[in-house]
Structure formats: C-alpha cells, structure tokens
Amino acid sequence: MIDCFGDPCSSHCPQNSDSQLSILENSELSVCSYNFEFRSYQHHKGDLPGELLVNGNCIEQCVTAHNNVTEVANFIQNVLQYQPTNGSTAQYICSINCVENYDQIEWQYAAWLDPYEQAIFGQCMVNGKLRSLAVAQDIVAHEFFHGLTYQIVGLDYYGQSGALDESYADIFGILVANFQNSDIETWNWELGSGFGDNGRAIRSLSNPAIYGQPEHMNNYRILPDFDDYGGVHYNSGIHNKAAYYLLSSQDAEGNYLFDATSGATLFYLALSQLSKQSVFSDSRRAIQQVARTLFRQDSSKLEKLRAIATAFDNVGIGDNIGIFE
C-alpha cells in the first residue's frame, strides 16, 4: 500500500482503454497489479513495478492476484476504514512474477518493499507447474499488512518488535481470508496452504508448533542478528497463538465472543498504540486498552476483557516481558 505524500498518485495507474482491456487496475480502490515478467527485482529495481498490460503467460494468475489485492484494499478501506493521516489517498501496488537473481524462475518468497512502498510476489513449482504466491489471498493480505504496519507505526524489523510485525501480518492474513465465513469454528487458521514444504502451509495460528514455531514465551529464543533478523519469523508464533486464543474464545454458553469485524478492529486499533520498538507485552496492553473503549457498551465487555487476558496469559505474555529484549 502506498500513501502518496503530496505526489500525483494517479500516474502510477494508467486509465483503462479499449485497446488495453487486460490492464489490471481498479481506479475506485487505487489498486494496480503489474507483471514483472520474471525479472530480478534486485538487479532491475528501476523497472519496478513492471508491466500493467499483462501478457498471455500471466493472465490467469495475474487476474487472481489482482482480485486478491482488490479484496485486501476493500478490507483496509471499508472494514478497517483506514485513511492516511495526511489526507492523501492510499494506493495498493504489487508486482507479480518477481525473481531474486538472473536465470531464475522459481522464487518461493513474497515481500513488502518499504523503499518502494509496494509488494512483490514470487512463484514456486506446484505439481510441475509454476504457481504465483499472489494467488493465495492470505499471503497477499500478509504482505500488504506489512505495508499498513509500516505506515502506522514502522515497527523495527528485528527481534521481538520484528516478530510482532510478522505476527500482525499473519493475523490480518487469516482475518482477510476468513472474513466472509461467519462460522469461526470452520475457519482455516493456516497461512499459505500449498506453498510450504511438501505442499503444506507455511504457518499456523492455531498450532504454530507443527511448523517449527514456539507457542509460549518459555520457548522464546534470542537468535543472532544474521539469523532471520533475530528470529522474526520464528518467535512470531507466540503472539500468533495468543491471537488464536483471543479470536476463538467463547463465553460460558459456547458462543464466540468476537467475530471477524470486531477482532480485526481490535487488532487494527491496537497498532496505533504501538511504537517502533514495541514488544509482545506492549501489544497485550494496547489490545486491552483498546478493548475497554471499543466494547464499553457491550454487555459482554467483561467476558471479552477476561478472554483477552487469558489468551495472553496462556502463552506467557504478561505485562513485563521486556526482559526478553
């Protein structure tokens, strides 16, 4: 997502025309999807974001990817009602079919590029065919919520603050992917199904351990700087599990205390309470503080507050976890 600070953002998205019917842009939501045509984003940074006019080798997956970005933009603008603080217009830019090096087609990663304020998506072989990571709605949401977090708070991407950044992106990936399903009992809590090892998912909020992540602060590991920025993708499982406990919490009668909208609003508003070096305990305090206001007229307010406290207690995130940084 791009917040254009005083720049004419419309120049990023040429208007559609009769001669360019395959241009992937949504002017209403300011969404543009580009085909990077398997060029190296490291060696061709000047060519980002790529080609709006999609060629035949990309049409099906590029259209799916564009639809996914559009859904994310709609969620951010109309569900969360996000507006840039300076009054500018948020734009949502992605490049599909990116690679890292020359002579490379398979690149099993996706990323948010802060300097370019856009998402990029690679692809991997699935059943003998290249499949873009951008066809997975939760992966697309994950990357664009890195962008939203970057715009709102700019968490330092290292150690526990970096793990918090990863966790919020995972949480919103799950929320976007399940948003149309009102039955929380049947939600899919896995992220990136089909893109992990042996066709599995990449991570799970409900069971981080099956993908090698810790689920409790007792297993938090301080990793070297060079190892995944101090373990941002590893330790995020702890905060993810707390989010799972929170979003799936029930009252005494077995009714879910939160729905997709209230859960998304809770985590979104908590973001604005964080600072660059916030850690897991800061997130707990922010969520509790937001909940007191958000649910102040809710008859189940006390149950919701207890559920939030229990969710974080269950993973060992208390109010004084700063010793881990």
Take residue 219 and report the two structure tokens written for it.
Answer: 């297993």
Residue 3 has pLDDT above 90, yes or no: no
Strands 90-96 and 2-3: what pairing? Answer: antiparallel
> With left for phi above 0 and alpha for psi between -120 and 50, is residue 159 left, alpha or beta?
left
204-231 confidence digits (pLDDT tens): 999 999 999 999 999 999 988 788 999 9
Which of the four CATH numbers 3.40.190.10, 3.40.50.170, 3.60.20.30, 3.10.170.10 does domain 2-152 have? Answer: 3.10.170.10
Which of the four CATH numbers 3.30.70.1150, 3.40.50.11890, 1.10.390.10, 3.40.50.300 does domain 159-324 have? Answer: 1.10.390.10
The catalytic position among 66, 142, 233, 239 is: 233
Q: Write down the pLDDT at residue 87.
A: 64
Q: Write down the pLDDT at residue 205.
A: 98
Take residue 127 and report the two structure tokens written for it.
Answer: 């059943």
How much of the chain exceeds pLDDT 90, in percent? 74
6-29 confidence digits (pLDDT tens): 222 334 444 443 334 357 888 888
Could you give phi then psi for residue 85, rounded to 5 degrees? -65, -20
Average predicted confidence (pLDDT) for the chain:
89
Rounded distance between C-alpha atoms, residue 12 and residue 91, angstroms: 9
The catalytic position among 37, 51, 143, 166 is: 143
How much of the chain exceeds pLDDT 70, in percent? 89
Q: Write down the pLDDT at residue 118.
A: 95
Q: What is the mean pLDDT of residues 92-120?
A: 92
- Whether 216 is a known active-site residue: answer no
Q: How confident is the model at residue 241 (pLDDT cuts 50, 70, 90)?
A: very high
- Whether 233 is a known active-site residue: answer yes
pTM for this predicted structure: 0.91
Q: How confident is the model at residue 59 (pLDDT cuts 50, 70, 90)?
A: confident
- List the chain domain ranges: 2-152, 159-324
Q: Write down the pLDDT at residue 13.
A: 45
